[in-house]
Amino acid sequence: MKRVITYGTFDVLHYGHVNLLKRARALGDYLIVVLSSDEFNKIKNKVSYYTYEQRKIILEACRYVDLVVPEYTWEQKRNDIQKYQADIFVMGDDWKGKFDFLSDLCEVVYLPRTPDVCSTKVKKFLQEHDANK
């Protein structure tokens, strides 16, 4: 069985996220999503609309995802790969080259992002729409 692992905040889940999860899952038999915890988001100066628990519920409902676990630090990736016996580490190609240091543990794959969609655009649209009410 090939295990794939990926990381992210997955706030305001959109079709670009689903495309990424689908393509990541297609690389193996089991997909592990390591989801940024609320505490880790604070460290990254990132604010999520949904809490960790809410984002976890949404991801667990996605048919491509087999396991969702929390991310607390940037440094935990090496341990996670070993702990979950991941064969492939997947990230969006906007991170290209940033995780090559993990290639001694598993294959590192950068997938192209879905064009014309990102969480920032969705959040901005929602804020503007909300302001126009």
Q: Which residues contact 101 (CB under 8 A, 6 or more apart)?
A: none
Calpha distance 6→35 (Å, rounded): 9
The model's pTM is: 0.88
Pick the closest to residue 105 from 76, 85, 132 (CA basis): 85
Q: Which residues contact 127 (CB under 8 A, 6 or more apart)?
A: none
Q: For the domain that residue 59 is a member of, what is the CATH number? A: 3.40.50.620
Residue 52 is part of which domain span?
Answer: 3-131
Q: Return per-residue pLDDT of the chain as tens, 133 residues.
A: 999 999 999 988 888 899 999 999 999 999 999 999 999 999 999 888 899 999 999 999 999 999 999 999 999 999 999 999 999 999 999 999 999 999 999 999 999 987 776 666 666 766 676 666 6
Q: List, by residue number, the catalytic residues.
A: 44, 46
Q: Which residues contact 1 (CB under 8 A, 6 or more apart)?
A: 28, 29, 30
In this structure, the number of other CB atoms found within 10 A of the CB of residue 80 comes to 18
* Count of domains observed in the chain: 1
